[in-house]
Chains A and B, each alone.
Chain A
Amino acid sequence: MELKNAVAGTLESGDIMIQIGPGEGLQVELQSSVAAQFGRQIKSVITETLQGLGVSDAFVKATDKGALDCTIRARVTAAAVRATGKDVWK
């Protein structure tokens, strides 16, 4: 699947900003205020969400401000839809 660069989310508290672009395999670079305790969980939510959307090659830069998993899934999905042009909500 061809990916364009795309962004979803904000840097507000409780949100996460997902920047996605072309890559080989799924690479996630995470910056998080709760990295020590939740970094592992956040990365796995991001990769699982992308895999669920059929995205297997992408570079993701995630800037997290304490987002919950539901928020992370929503932002990753929105970023993936913008990057792939494939609307998963239809």
Chain B
Amino acid sequence: MRNTKVVTLEEAIRRSGLKDGMTISFHHHFRGGDKVVNMVVAKLAEMGFKDLKLAASSLSDVHAPLIEHIKNGVITGISTSGLRGELANEISHGLMDEPVVFRSHGGRGSAIANGELHIDVAFLGASSCDELGNASGCPRSENAKSICGSLGYALPDAKYADHVVVLTDDLVEYPNVPKSISACDVESVVVVDSVGDSSKISSGAIRDSKNPRDILLAQQAAKVIINSGYFEDGFSIQTGTGGASLAAVKYIRESMIEKGIKASFALGGITAHMVKLHEEGLIGRLIDVQSFDKVAAESIASDQLHQEVSAIEYASADNPGSAVHALDIVILSALEVDVNFNVNVLVGSDGIIRGAVGGHPDTAEDSALSIIVCPLLRGRIPCVVPKVTTLITPGAGVDVVVTEYGIAVNPRRPEIAERLKAAGLKVVDIHDLAAKATSVIGVPDPLPFGDKVVGIVMDRHGKVLDKIYNIVD
């Protein structure tokens, strides 16, 4: 008996046994183009649900409609990696009574696996799915409407949620292979007009920079890598989404060709830059938890050496098999770094949430060499500060900070400082960078925080790392 899983969204929700107070989950592979969260929560509101806990792998600007659902009591709890736009602004001003719980991608994977984050019903968008629920982020027919590539952040949900609903905008003939989500984990399949706008995947955090300062920072970061002692045949690398860290790949590529060095794998959010190096034979394998653009999504659809991994396989702290444990070098960006090498990537220097934890703490802690690339100042906003507004990545895992005014090396890694100095790079004390910033902009007045906790930052091991308070205008 086939075809029984394909139902309407309302029927899928009814079948799931969802009740007020339960936890629903979503992935963010369509990033700024996501349509699933708003569609499903609107339906849940229409059906009269209240007091639901929303566990997303991340949320962005497009999720502003959640504000009304929070005001109406449909959503009373959120856990996510990030928040941006008007939803973030409202939450920073105290919209919710229950603080938002922020976890890293690896931390979320671990929390789902060990039961700390229990998901009652997962609603997972997919670009193709068959009638039994074999789902993929890759298009599989002429009628395909979307492509998101890896479904890495959805895989823990699919595996551990009590009930899984796949939403797809292309119902394809059985069997939909290769699959990301197994039909054995899926209870219902819902066909919708659109699960997401793929053209908006590479919006938001990811930009390809032509800014001369970003290019300078990228060149410096590349020099740090090349002279770090880790740049040898078979090395592995991950880059974050900042303009400078993406641009650094270009300079590393030139050096790889010149020296005849090849990388064993690139990890993480995979971009067109990494796909290009892989296709040129400079990177052996791509390990992809999230395809950051269309080129990466198309590559994972066609290239067997471009492998999808789940958030757990990517970055779980307590699973010794996760890929971050094998990672040599990671380049990351930052909103703020402090004199103890602590990093904030979540809360802006105006006290308003405007970013995402992402894989930052996961990769910084487990990689052999973590490099933070950020300008000393963004306008009048200092990026090297005495103390970060919110602690996201503890300084113990951060090795090098690259700014346009010099490179600071964590005192825990004196051997790296020596290598960089020997290569003629300008190594400076991080306190001098913070002092330089202050000399240009003056001492900022303290932020007008209130006394309501609006966010709790969990570390990747499941402990509370920091609290975010409401901001008062």
A residues within 8 Å of B by Cβ? 13-14, 33-34, 36-41, 65-69
Q: State which of B349, B440, B444 has its C-beta within 8 Å of the C-beta of A68.
A: B440
The answer to whether A38 and B379 have CB atoms under 8 Å apart is no
Tell me, yes or no, whether B381 is within 8 Å of chain A by CB. yes
With a cutoff of 8 Å between Cβ atoms, the chain B residues found around residue A66 in the complex are: 378-381
Tell me, yes or no, whether B445 is within 8 Å of chain A by CB. yes
- Sample of 28 A–B contacts (CB below 8 Å): A13-B379, A14-B379, A33-B350, A33-B379, A34-B349, A34-B350, A34-B379, A34-B380, A34-B444, A36-B447, A36-B448, A37-B350, A37-B445, A37-B446, A38-B380, A38-B441, A38-B442, A38-B444, A38-B445, A41-B442, A41-B445, A66-B378, A66-B379, A66-B380, A67-B379, A67-B380, A68-B440, A68-B441
A-B contact count (CB 8 A): 42
Tell me, yes or no, whether B351 is within 8 Å of chain A by CB. yes
The answer to whether A36 and B351 have CB atoms under 8 Å apart is yes
With a cutoff of 8 Å between Cβ atoms, the chain B residues found around residue A14 in the complex are: 379
Whole-angstrom CA separation of A14 from B379 in the bound complex: 5
Number of B positions contacting A (CB below 8 A): 15
B residues within 8 Å of A by Cβ? 349-351, 378-381, 440-442, 444-448
With a cutoff of 8 Å between Cβ atoms, the chain A residues found around residue B349 in the complex are: 34, 37
Q: State which of A13, A33, A65, A69 has its C-beta within 8 Å of the C-beta of B442.
A: A69
- Of A33, A38, A65, A67, most buried by chain B (CB within 10 Å of CB) is A38
Residue of A nearest to B442 (CB): A41
Q: Tell me the minimal C-beta distance from A36 to chain B in angstroms.
A: 6
Closest 4 CB pairs of A and B: A66-B379, A37-B444, A66-B380, A34-B380
Whole-angstrom CA separation of A70 from B350 in the bound complex: 22
The answer to whether A65 and B379 have CB atoms under 8 Å apart is yes
Q: Tell me the minimal C-beta distance from A47 to chain B in angstroms.
A: 15
Contacts A68-B441, A69-B442 given; indicate if A34 touches B448 (C-beta within 8 A): no
